[in-house]
Structure 1
């Protein structure tokens, strides 16, 4: 197997750290750069293949609703929690959410007085966000965005950077769009987490071929700092992602049909077709394993995040360096939790 060139530092990576990951009868590998602490999916889907991967419209169902109603209540609560984390640094202003999905987060921000704009790379999804929530949502490559430079107080990329084929261009664009002292918030799955190391190709958040880059916490921090930002806070536990990452990964590793639990909580016709052939006995087995693994998953996610500092996700808060001293004072204000 030939090596690949790291898109972050141009180093050659000779051997994969994960291989023979199958999706739609095609095999993929992850090549990990020890210099950058970031992995890359190989082969990387081209633009045409990426368009087909995202054209299913999984964010466009039922006027902004994605999950079964019971789960939706939790999702809304998680979005409010994200809002409060941002408002710890910025009370109000103009916010851009890149990779906004169905637009629920920005809808909540708009209700709390923020001036909101969005980017969604799938054009039909962007149109749906605009029509459903009345949000200015555009699509396309960063070079095509029409936003004014230095016009945003906050930019968020929630589990987005790992999806894009041009992460460095994305970070440069974010820097140019932020005002002096602007805040960027980036969250990604942590490729060096204990759950990733344990589950390997069965890790729920691996998500190949949708995830093109596989960031470790250190790798994400480094690349953000290299693009004109100063880290002010790092979170390694997220109640929305960390425990479920363990739970679904444990189920996958136990031989349950891959990501079946996640498919059950989705509220879309394509997921219903996916699981229609599952027997009632199989469902009972899943329920038993769910009851057994759920508390274990919470304990493991807390342990890996707070004890080992290798949580399933990494969320970084950073400010533009040009006016950092006016905003936070000294380097001692960096907070890692």
Structure 2
């Protein structure tokens, strides 16, 4: 995930096309602004990551960039192995905004210290959200999108 950090995506895409060898494959992966988690958590969506993420993308926007440069999109893939984590962190940020604390930092610290409750709670959330993550990726609403 780099493309969301570049200050001039149009120029970056032009340069990537220029240096791409004939028959070469360009793969770009970005957080999916059209994800289910973004729709639920809005400004608390963990992958917004402001101010480090300068731009937000969806599969449609990536296809437009490719089309403008006559690049062929071979495949779109949704989601990543950390989608459950993103969903958990986004939810904890959202809850924290209502309670005035920071549940993600607390859970993260407790987990790193080996707190059995925190490890079990996080593991339970992660495993519980795996089927949802797989379904959302299949429906093209995963937390990240990759094309090439």
- Using a 3 Å threshold, how does the CA distance of structure 1 residues 261 and 315 change in structure 2: closer, same or farther? farther
Return the structure number with greater helix share.
Answer: 2
Does structure 1 residue 249 correspond to structure 2 residue 90? yes
RMSD, matched Cα = 2.7
d(CA) in 2 for partners of 1:296, 1:195: 15
Does structure 1 residue 167 correspond to structure 2 residue 9? yes
Return the structure number with greater strand share.
Answer: 1
- Using a 3 Å threshold, how does the CA distance of structure 1 residues 287 and 164 change in structure 2: closer, same or farther? same
Contact 1:250 / 1:293 at 8 angstroms: preserved in 2? no
Q: Which of the numbers 222, 229, 239 marks the counterpart of 2:71?
A: 229
Describe how 1:139-288 pairs up with structure 2 within 5 A: 159-239=1-81, 241-255=82-96, 257=102, 259-260=104-105, 264=109, 286-287=118-119
- Using a 3 Å threshold, how does the CA distance of structure 1 residues 194 and 261 change in structure 2: closer, same or farther? farther
- Using a 3 Å threshold, how does the CA distance of structure 1 residues 238 and 167 change in structure 2: closer, same or farther? same
- 2:143 match: 312
- Using a 3 Å threshold, how does the CA distance of structure 1 residues 262 and 226 change in structure 2: closer, same or farther? farther
State how many pairs are aligned: 142
- 2:122 match: 290
If asked which structure has higher relative contact order (CA below 8 Å, sep 6+), I would say: 2
* Bigger-Rg structure (1/2): 1
Residue 251 of structure 1, CA deviation: 2.1
Q: TM-score, normalised by structure 2?
A: 0.82
Gaps of 5+ in 2: none
Residue-by-residue CA offset, 1:247-301 (whole Å, 9 max, x unaligned): 211222232616427965xx9xxxxxxxxxxxx9xx6775464244222322221
- Using a 3 Å threshold, how does the CA distance of structure 1 residues 188 and 261 change in structure 2: closer, same or farther? farther
Contact 2:78 / 2:140 at 8 angstroms: preserved in 1? yes
d(CA) in 1 for partners of 2:107, 2:71: 35
Residue 237 of structure 1, CA deviation: 2.3
Contact 1:187 / 1:316 at 8 angstroms: preserved in 2? yes
d(CA) in 1 for partners of 2:83, 2:5: 19
- Using a 3 Å threshold, how does the CA distance of structure 1 residues 177 and 261 change in structure 2: closer, same or farther? farther
